[in-house]
Amino acid sequence: MTPQSFKKTGLALLVLTALALPLILRSPTYLHILIMLYLYAYMTTTWNLVGGFAGVLPLGHSVFVGIGAYTSTVLWLQWGISPWIGMLVGGCLAGFVAYLIGKPTLKMRGAYFALATMAFVEGVRVIVENVDQLGPFKLNGPRGLNIPPLPAGEGSLLAFQFATKEPYYYIILFMLMGVVYLTWRLSRSKLGYSLSAGGEEPEAAEALGVNVAKCKVTAMVLSAFLTALAGTFLAQMTLFIYPKSVLTLDLSFELAFIALIGGRGSLAGPIIGALMLRPVTEFSRIYLSATLPGMHLILLGVILIVVMLYQPRGLSEPLTRLFNRLQDRICSTKTGGAK
Amino acid sequence: MDLIFLLQDVINGILMGSIYGLVALGLTLVFGVLKIINFAHGSFLMVGMYVAYWIVAYTGLHPYLALFLVAPIMYFFGYQMQQWLIRPIFVAERDVREPITVIIVTTGVWYVLDNLALLLFGPDYRALSPNPLKGEMIEIGEILISTPKLFGFIITVLTAAGLYWFLLKTRMGRAIRATSLDRDAASLMGISQWKIFNVAFGIGTAIAGIAAVVLVPVYNVYPTVGVPFDVKSFVIVVLGGLGSIPGALLGGVIIGLIESIGPNFMTSTWTEAIVYGLFLLVLFFKPSGLFGQKYDW
Amino acid sequence: MDFGGLRAIDSLSLSIDEGQILGLIGPNGAGKSTAFNCVAGVYRPTSGEIWFDGANITGAKPWDLCRAGLARTFQIVKPFASKTVLYNVMVGAFARTDKTDEAEAIALDILKSLHLDHKKDFKSGALTIADRKRLEIARAMATKPKLLLLDEVMAGLRPTEVDEMIDVFRTVRDSGVTIFVIEHIMRAIMALSDELVVIQFGRKISEGKPEAVAKDENVIKAYLGDEYVAS
């Protein structure tokens, strides 16, 4: 077997397993856990477009989740517009906002940029928490917005609500696969090359014809649009959003941490990160938060520090080497490591 | 609106602002020397506050006397943190232009410390006791000035002056300044970079400890008490100019004034939004702040 | 060109003809790098203009200059260290195409002409300094420039490597690219340049063919001092 066919079979197996899982695991709890896992993997992958490829450190990305969630919810509650359309509107709005803040902030040094994104998301959260109404839009301040559930047992595609977990599972799975594919195509495209070159050596990249600032802004807008879609999904899953759920630094940090631990800038990194860290945080939250509150965040922080000290580029590199060795065994090839 | 009340607000703003400046002072020192922004600064403040709280609770010492215990403890704490957590990254990222990993690690430290405090001490708000300064006020005419805040102002000025003198007149201070200007040149002249970094970080943390002592009589202590101060410190440090001592104090006073005068014209949450907005404006238009220099890093 | 109170270049007038190799030399601190950076778009000259191919490019941005056909290398090489040699050159190739396979083809071509293709999958951070310089030129060549600005490329190379680099220069010139080079290694620049310009303290003190310039009194004085102006 050649390395290519090994990889392809592996991928196919993975996809098939993912598609078949709901048929095997009938428990809604497990499905819910998987759904959240995919959702975080999705959001971390979109974060990676900016944090990994563009080489900067956005620590306020949850603002786009919030924009997506609030836009589709407000449009549904006040004007009955289907959340699918609301999703797209939210995405465009997020992209627009990203353009506005991206242009000035992406010129800044790394630490300044991180601070600016943090200030932005905190500022937005403070405003949303304290206004009940912004023009014609009812935001309901800290009480958040409730989406009235459909009568039990009923589902509606148009209303983006379903009676069981399965449809949600498949939707987020497809979203995740879509975004992974997009990232893969991007990494092989002119924009992808320009972005990582600009992130690594901006001066050299500029001398080679790359308008680094413009590429970074493009990446940010794209990322914002995609992240906002996740916001809508989250809103429709939980049927209740409030500022501290979608506009927090906590969420921004969690996305950044997962991507960093998994390996920013790589394709599999965010997914590896999510796969490893979400179960840790979920289970420690479920089982330990009564006796040891906040333990899951401590674990996340400690893991982050340890990984950053020993593998600053994330865990995807050593894991890729392991994978290559496995591949060599099976295909009897000799894949060197990077020379 | 009465002029008297406005004057009271201004005074209050200056006093509280100077305390904010004291909090930011440690951060700006660390930045000026190590060129890193310690995202865990607020958590260090929180640690200082708990240390002060427990010392007073167990020994009954007057908080300002406890200062002489808190500062060294915090110095040690900061020194070790730099030595074990931050230095390895500096060494690993020697060639990288911007050690973003340091930011990430300090963010991790922030998380761990805050939640560790939550775990160990619980979420309860604790008020300092015994608190000899509780509710003390000085009356000047119709104006009431909170005594602990006044002392805070005095301690801030003394600390800033002390730091200034230290950097200007002592050997260690000059070594620190040399390192902050050009770390490679300084090390070529026999100044151990790592020792300087450790000392600078230690001093910065010790100052946070002093700020903690100043705050503890007037602020409740709880695990995430550091967060609002953390954010304010960043704003102040950017506003005043990274690495500038007068900048930190002035920036603090500005924030303090906005917070005390603002509520006369709008709700306090809009005041918060204004602080963030101001921050973003400064970042966009004059990132080097009021007193900062253009760093080429 | 003034930096605050320091006048780094004072009324310097240069012109390069198409297909030429023009060398700029001068003692240390003469203002060579400043002149170079003005042309390369790093500094905006405080006075004066720069024209390229009939267009005024004074103060243009580096990426626009690249699009216009002006490429440069860096004195302290800046490879995209974590990426392969091929990747590095492809970034340059993307300046002329939007398609990845075309960029790859262009890159492989350039690498072959500069004898680096056998190392195309090496991590550029792991290359020797001579190879890194070669890569730097390959990258710039991938942008299909009309004019290539080379900044002290020979610095730090051993004599055999210098000879190899001279061959590289000749290959580049033969492919039709005009070259503007700053250099300190005399034998290289004497051998290569069609014309030389010598500057000192920001002013031109000599220009012309290499043999003539080598004998010019002013040049000898500038480099070696008055005592060496022999008969």
Report for A152-156, B183-187, C171-175: range of highest mean pLDDT: C171-175
Calculate the CA dihedral of residues B282, B283, B285, B289 and round it to 10 degrees.
Answer: 60
Q: Specify the pLDDT at position B95.
A: 54
For chain A, positions 166-205, list CB contacts with chain C under 8 A.
188-190, 193-194, 196-197, 200-201, 203-205
Q: Specify the pLDDT at position C123.
A: 86
Tokens of residue B25, six digits: 């002072």
Tokens of residue C27, six digits: 């003692």
Q: Specify the pLDDT at position A99.
A: 93
Q: Do A339 and C123 touch (CB under 8 A)?
A: yes
Q: What is the pLDDT of residues A283-296, one digit of tens each?
A: 777 777 666 766 77
The pLDDT of B100-126, averaged and rounded, is 86
The burial class, CB within 10 Å (0-12 / 13-18 / 19+), for C11 is exposed
The verdict on domain B3-285 having CATH code 1.10.3470 is: yes
Whether residue C227 has pLDDT greater than 60:
no
Whether residue C21 has pLDDT greater than 60:
yes
For residues B77 and B81, what is the distance between their CA atoms, to the nearest angstrom? Answer: 6
Q: Which residues of C touch A209 (CB under 8 A)?
A: 63, 66-67, 92, 94-95, 143
For residues A301 and A312, what is the distance between their CA atoms, to the nearest angstrom? Answer: 14
Any chain C CB within 8 A of the CB of A130?
no
CB A243 within 8 A of CB A144: yes
Q: Specify the pLDDT at position B94.
A: 61
Q: Do B105 and A109 touch (CB under 8 A)?
A: no
**For residue A57, what are the CA distances in angstroms to A111, A192, A260, A302?**
8, 17, 10, 19
Q: Specify the pLDDT at position A95.
A: 94
Pairing of strands C2-3, C6-7: antiparallel
Q: Report H helices in chain A.
A: 3-24, 28-48, 62-79, 83-105, 110-130, 166-187, 190-200, 202-207, 212-238, 243-246, 249-262, 269-288, 295-310, 316-331
Q: Specify the pLDDT at position B243.
A: 77
Measured between CB atoms, which of A189, A196, A209 is closest to C95?
A209
Q: Do C90 and A194 touch (CB under 8 A)?
A: no
Q: Specify the pLDDT at position C220.
A: 76
For residues A58 and A49, what is the distance between their CA atoms, to the nearest angstrom? Answer: 10
Q: At what angle do helices A28-48 and A269-288 cross, to 10 degrees?
A: 140
**For residue A44, what are the CA distances in angstroms to A176, A275, A303, C100?**
10, 11, 17, 26
For residues A222 and B174, what is the distance between their CA atoms, to the nearest angstrom? Answer: 48
Q: Specify the pLDDT at position A231.
A: 93
Q: Specify the pLDDT at position B96.
A: 56
The pLDDT of B188-198, averaged and rounded, is 79
Distance from CA of A99 to the nearest CA of C (A): 21
Q: Specify the pLDDT at position A221.
A: 95
For residues A233 and A237, what is the distance between their CA atoms, to the nearest angstrom? Answer: 6
Q: Specify the pLDDT at position B170.
A: 87
pLDDT band for position A11 (50/70/90)? Answer: confident
- 3-state class (DSSP) for residue A22: helix
pLDDT band for position C229 (50/70/90)? Answer: low
Q: Which residues of A touch B123 (CB under 8 A)?
A: 293
Q: Which residues of A touch C121 (CB under 8 A)?
A: 339
Percent of chain B, pLDDT > 90? 16
Q: Do B36 and A111 touch (CB under 8 A)?
A: yes
Q: Specify the pLDDT at position A217.
A: 93
Q: Specify the pLDDT at position A227.
A: 95
Q: Which residue of C has its CA nearest to A206?
A: C63
Q: Specify the pLDDT at position A325.
A: 85
- 3-state class (DSSP) for residue A80: coil
Distance from CA of B194 to the nearest CA of A (A): 17
Distance from CA of C184 to the nearest CA of A (A): 23
DSSP A91: H
Q: What is the pLDDT of residues B66-97, one digit of tens each?
A: 888 889 999 998 898 888 888 888 777 665 55
Q: Kindly provide the b/e burial profile for residues A5-26, where b requires at least 16 CB atoms within 10 angstroms of the residue's own CB.
A: ebeeeeeeeeeeebeeebeeee
Question: Mapped to the 3 state alphabet, what secondary structure does C125-194 carry?
Answer: HHCCHHHHHHHHHHHHHHCCCCEEEEECCCCCCCHHHHHHHHHHHHHHHHCCCEEEEECCCHHHHHHHCC
Domain boundaries, chain B: 3-285
The region of weakest confidence among A221-235, B105-119, B126-140 is: B126-140
The region of weakest confidence among A84-98, A112-126, B199-213, B257-271 is: B257-271
The pLDDT of A125-148, averaged and rounded, is 82
Report for B16-25, B131-140, B255-264: range of highest mean pLDDT: B16-25
The pLDDT of A57-77, averaged and rounded, is 90
Percent of chain A, pLDDT > 90? 23
Q: Do C140 and A200 touch (CB under 8 A)?
A: no
Any chain A CB within 8 A of the CB of B92?
yes
- Candidates A105, A109, A289: best to mutate against B (most CBs of B within 10 A) is A109
Q: Do C71 and A207 touch (CB under 8 A)?
A: yes
Tokens of residue C196, six digits: 């030389």
Q: How many residues does chain A have?
A: 339
Q: Specify the pLDDT at position C17.
A: 77
pLDDT band for position A337 (50/70/90)? Answer: very low
Q: Which residues of A touch C71 (CB under 8 A)?
A: 207-208
Largest CA distance in chain A: 66
> How would you classify residue C69: left for phi > 0, otherwise alpha for psi between -120 and 50, otherwise beta?
left
Measured between CB atoms, which of A188, A200, A338 is closest to C123?
A338
Q: Do A309 and B89 touch (CB under 8 A)?
A: yes
For residues C92 and C144, what is the distance between their CA atoms, to the nearest angstrom? Answer: 9
Tokens of residue B109, six digits: 């430290």
List beta partners, residue C23: C181, C196
For residues B179 and B159, what is the distance between their CA atoms, to the nearest angstrom? Answer: 22
Q: Which residue of A has its CA nearest to C98?
A: A190
Q: Specify the pLDDT at position C81.
A: 82
Q: What is the pLDDT of residues B132-174, one digit of tens each?
A: 777 778 887 777 888 888 888 999 999 999 998 888 888 888 8
Helix (H) or strand (E) holding C56, with range, is: strand C55-56
Task: Compute the mean pLDDT over every residue in chain B, rounded to the nearest whole number.
Answer: 83
CB C2 within 8 A of CB C45: no
Whether residue B268 has pLDDT greater than 80:
no
CB C163 within 8 A of CB C84: no
CB C101 within 8 A of CB C65: no
Q: Specify the pLDDT at position C2.
A: 67
Any chain A CB within 8 A of the CB of B282?
no
Q: Count H helices, E strands: chain C?
A: 9, 10
Whether residue B272 has pLDDT greater than 90:
no
Tokens of residue B56, six digits: 């007073």
List beta partners, residue A240: A146
* Count of Cβ atoms closer than 10 Å to residue C191 Cβ: 14
Q: Specify the pLDDT at position A98.
A: 93
Q: What is the pLDDT of residues B31-53, one digit of tens each?
A: 887 777 788 999 999 999 999 88
Concatenating the DSSP letter of every residue in A126-138 gives HHHHH-SEETTEE
DSSP C59: T
For residues A336 and B11, what is the distance between their CA atoms, to the nearest angstrom? Answer: 69
The region of weakest confidence among A41-55, A271-285, C89-103 is: A271-285
CB C115 within 8 A of CB C172: no
- Split into its structural domains, chain C has a count of 1
Q: What is the pLDDT of residues C92-130, one digit of tens each?
A: 999 888 888 888 999 998 888 888 888 888 888 888 888
- 3-state class (DSSP) for residue C105: helix
Q: Do A297 and B36 touch (CB under 8 A)?
A: no
Q: Do A298 and B111 touch (CB under 8 A)?
A: yes
Any chain A CB within 8 A of the CB of B96?
no
Measured between CB atoms, which of C80, C90, C143 is closest to A209?
C143
Measured between CB atoms, which of B101, B107, B273 is closest to A312?
B101
Whether residue C149 has pLDDT greater than 80:
yes
CB A57 within 8 A of CB A44: no
C contact set with A (CB within 8 A)? 40, 61-63, 66-67, 71-72, 74, 78-83, 87, 90-92, 94-95, 97-100, 103, 121-123, 126, 139-140, 142-143
Task: Compute the mean pLDDT over every residue in chain C, rounded to the nearest whole number.
Answer: 82
Q: Specify the pLDDT at position C153.
A: 84
Residue, of B181 and B17, whose pLDDT is higher: B17
Distance from CA of C189 to the nearest CA of A (A): 24
Whether residue A97 has pLDDT greater than 90:
yes
Pairing of strands B137-140, A240-241: unpaired
Q: Which residue of A has its CA nearest to B286?
A: A108
A contact set with B (CB within 8 A)? 57, 59, 104-105, 108-112, 114-116, 118-120, 122-123, 126-127, 129-130, 253, 256-257, 260, 292-295, 297-298, 300-302, 304-305, 308-309, 312
Q: Which residue of B has its CA nearest to A259?
A: B104
DSSP A149: P
- The pTM score is 0.85
Q: Which residues of A touch C122 (CB under 8 A)?
A: 339
For residues C66 and A207, what is the distance between their CA atoms, to the nearest angstrom? Answer: 6
Q: What is the pLDDT of residues A142-175, one digit of tens each?
A: 888 888 877 766 677 777 787 778 888 889 999 9
> What domain range is C115 assigned to?
2-228
pLDDT band for position B295 (50/70/90)? Answer: very low
Any chain A CB within 8 A of the CB of B135?
no
Q: Specify the pLDDT at position A137.
A: 81
The pLDDT of B1-19, averaged and rounded, is 85
Q: Kindly provide the b/e burial profile for residues B279-290, where b requires at least 16 CB atoms within 10 angstroms of the residue's own CB.
A: bbebbeeebbbb
Complex ipTM over 0.90? no
Q: How many residues does chain B have?
A: 297
Q: Which residues of B touch A116 (CB under 8 A)?
A: 279-280, 283
For residues B91 and B83, what is the distance between their CA atoms, to the nearest angstrom? Answer: 11
Q: Specify the pLDDT at position B139.
A: 82
Measured between CB atoms, which of A292, A294, A305 is closest to B105?
A305
Any chain C CB within 8 A of the CB of A222?
no
